A and B are shown apart, each in its own frame.
Chain A
Amino acid sequence: MIYLDHAATSPMPLEVREAYVEALQLVGNPSSIHTAGQHARAVLDDARVRIAATLGIDAIELTFTGGGTEAVNLAIKGLYWARNAAPSTDARPRILVPRTEHHAALDTVEWLEAHEGATLTWLEVDELGRLSLDGLEEALGDGSDVALVTMLHANNEVGTLQPVAEAAALAAAVGVPVHVDAIAAYGQVRLDPLPHGVSAVSISAHKIGGPVGVGALALRRGSEVVPLLHGGGQQRGRSGTMDAAGAAAFAIAAERAHAELDDRAANKRMLRERLAAGIRQTVPTAVLRGAAGAAAVATELAHSAAASDPARAASHLARAAELDALALPGTLHFTVPGAEGDSLLMLLDARGIAASTGSACQAGVPEPSHVLLAMGLSEADARGALRITLGPATTVDEIDALLVALPEAVERAQAAGLAGQVPRLGRLP
Chain B
Amino acid sequence: MSGGVDSAVAAARAVDAGHEVVGVHLALSRMPGTLRTGSRGCCTIEDSLDARRAAEKLGIPFYVWDFSERFRADVVEDFVTEYSSGRTPNPCMRCNERIKFAAVLEKALALGFDAVVTGHYAHIVTDAVGNRELHRASDEAKDQSYVLGVLTTEQLAHAMFPLGTTPSKAVVRAEAAERGFTVAQKPDSHDICFIPDGDTRGWLADRIEPVEGAIIDRSGATVGSHDGATSFTVGQRRGLNLGVPAPDGRPRFVLEVRPRTNEVVVGPLEALAIRELAGRRFTWAGLDPVASGITQADPAGAVAHAALTDAASADTGAAVSPSTDLAATDALLPFDCHVQVRAHADPVPAVAHVAGGELIVSVREPLLGVAPGQTAVLYVGTRVLGQCTIDRTVSADEPARAAAGASAAPAADSAPGDSAAPAADQAAASATLVGSAAL
A188 within 8 A of B: no
Q: Is B101 within 8 A of A346, CB to CB?
A: no
Scan residues 381-429 of chain A and give those whose CB is less than 8 A from a CB of chain B: 412-413, 415-417, 419-420, 422-428
Q: Is A347 within 8 A of B107, CB to CB?
A: no
Q: Which of A227-235, A242-250, A254-262, A360-368 is near enough to bind chain B?
A: A360-368
Residues in chain A within 8 A of chain B (CB atoms): 342-343, 346-347, 349-350, 362-366, 412-413, 415-417, 419-420, 422-428
When distances are taken between beta carbons in the complex, the residues of chain B under 8 Å from A422 are 70
Q: Is B45 within 8 A of A363, CB to CB?
A: yes
Q: Is A346 within 8 A of B63, CB to CB?
A: yes
When distances are taken between beta carbons in the complex, the residues of chain B under 8 Å from A426 are 97-98, 101-102, 150, 152, 155
Take A416-B110, A425-B105, A425-B154 as given contacts and tell me if A365 and B98 are in contact as well, using a CB distance cutoff of 8 Å.
no
Q: Is B106 within 8 A of A423, CB to CB?
A: yes
Scan residues 177-202 of chain B and give those whose CB is less than 8 A from a CB of chain A: none
B283 within 8 A of A: yes
When distances are taken between beta carbons in the complex, the residues of chain A under 8 Å from B61 are 346, 349-350
B66 within 8 A of A: yes
CB distance from A79 to the nearest CB of B (A): 31
Take A423-B70, A426-B152 as given contacts and tell me if A363 and B27 are in contact as well, using a CB distance cutoff of 8 Å.
yes
Q: Is A420 within 8 A of B70, CB to CB?
A: yes
B115 within 8 A of A: no
Q: Is A362 within 8 A of B102, CB to CB?
A: no
The 7 closest A-B pairs by CB, nearest first: A426-B102, A364-B64, A416-B110, A415-B110, A423-B102, A420-B69, A425-B102
Having A342-B65, A342-B66, one finds 20 other A-B pairs with CB under 8 Å, namely A346-B63, A346-B111, A350-B22, A350-B61, A362-B27, A365-B64, A365-B68, A415-B110, A416-B107, A417-B107, A419-B69, A420-B70, A423-B70, A423-B105, A425-B101, A425-B106, A425-B152, A425-B154, A426-B152, A426-B155
B19 within 8 A of A: no
When distances are taken between beta carbons in the complex, the residues of chain A under 8 Å from B240 are none
When distances are taken between beta carbons in the complex, the residues of chain B under 8 Å from A427 are 98, 102
User: What mask results when residues 39 to 76 of chain B are scored 1 for a CB within 8 Å of chain A, else 0?
Assistant: 00000010010001000000001011111111000000
- B69's nearest neighbour on chain A, judged by CB, is A420
- B29's nearest neighbour on chain A, judged by CB, is A363
B435 within 8 A of A: no
21 contacts between A and B (CB under 8 A): A342-B63, A343-B111, A346-B111, A350-B61, A362-B27, A363-B27, A364-B48, A364-B52, A364-B64, A365-B65, A366-B66, A412-B110, A412-B111, A415-B111, A419-B65, A423-B106, A425-B105, A426-B98, A426-B152, A427-B102, A428-B283
Scan residues 11-28 of chain B and give those whose CB is less than 8 A from a CB of chain A: 22, 25, 27
Residues in chain B within 8 A of chain A (CB atoms): 22, 25, 27, 30, 32, 45, 48, 52, 61, 63-70, 97-98, 101-103, 105-107, 110-112, 150, 152, 154-155, 281, 283
Q: Is A425 within 8 A of B155, CB to CB?
A: yes
Complex: how many Å from CA A342 to CA B67?
Answer: 12
Complex: how many Å from CA A416 to CA B106?
Answer: 7
- B112's nearest neighbour on chain A, judged by CB, is A412
Name the residue among A343, A349, A366, A428 with the largest chain B CB count within 10 angstroms.
A428
Complex: how many Å from CA A349 to CA B25?
Answer: 17
When distances are taken between beta carbons in the complex, the residues of chain A under 8 Å from B22 are 346, 350
When distances are taken between beta carbons in the complex, the residues of chain A under 8 Å from B107 are 343, 416-417, 419
- A347's nearest neighbour on chain B, judged by CB, is B111
Complex: how many Å from CA A342 to CA B281?
Answer: 35
When distances are taken between beta carbons in the complex, the residues of chain B under 8 Å from A343 are 107, 111
Partner of B48, one of A347, A363, A412, A424: A363
Q: Is B30 within 8 A of A362, CB to CB?
A: yes
Complex: how many Å from CA A424 to CA B48?
Answer: 27
- A409's nearest neighbour on chain B, judged by CB, is B111
Q: Is B281 within 8 A of A428, CB to CB?
A: yes
- B65's nearest neighbour on chain A, judged by CB, is A419
Q: Is A364 within 8 A of B27, CB to CB?
A: yes
Complex: how many Å from CA A427 to CA B283?
Answer: 10
Complex: how many Å from CA A55 to CA B97?
Answer: 58
Complex: how many Å from CA A415 to CA B108?
Answer: 10
Complex: how many Å from CA A415 to CA B110?
Answer: 5
Q: Is B102 within 8 A of A365, CB to CB?
A: no
Complex: how many Å from CA A366 to CA B67?
Answer: 12
When distances are taken between beta carbons in the complex, the residues of chain B under 8 Å from A415 are 110-111
When distances are taken between beta carbons in the complex, the residues of chain B under 8 Å from A346 are 22, 61, 63, 111
CB distance from A144 to the nearest CB of B (A): 39
Q: Is B111 within 8 A of A423, CB to CB?
A: no
Q: Is B112 within 8 A of A419, CB to CB?
A: no
When distances are taken between beta carbons in the complex, the residues of chain A under 8 Å from B103 are 419, 423
Complex: how many Å from CA A307 to CA B111?
Answer: 42
- B107's nearest neighbour on chain A, judged by CB, is A416
When distances are taken between beta carbons in the complex, the residues of chain B under 8 Å from A349 are 61
CB distance from B26 to the nearest CB of A (A): 10
Q: Is B66 within 8 A of A365, CB to CB?
A: yes
Complex: how many Å from CA A419 to CA B106?
Answer: 10
Name the residue among A346, A362, A426, A428 with the largest chain B CB count within 10 angstroms.
A426
Complex: how many Å from CA A284 to CA B27?
Answer: 31
- B20's nearest neighbour on chain A, judged by CB, is A350
Complex: how many Å from CA A417 to CA B105?
Answer: 12
When distances are taken between beta carbons in the complex, the residues of chain B under 8 Å from A364 are 25, 27, 48, 52, 63-64
- A424's nearest neighbour on chain B, judged by CB, is B106
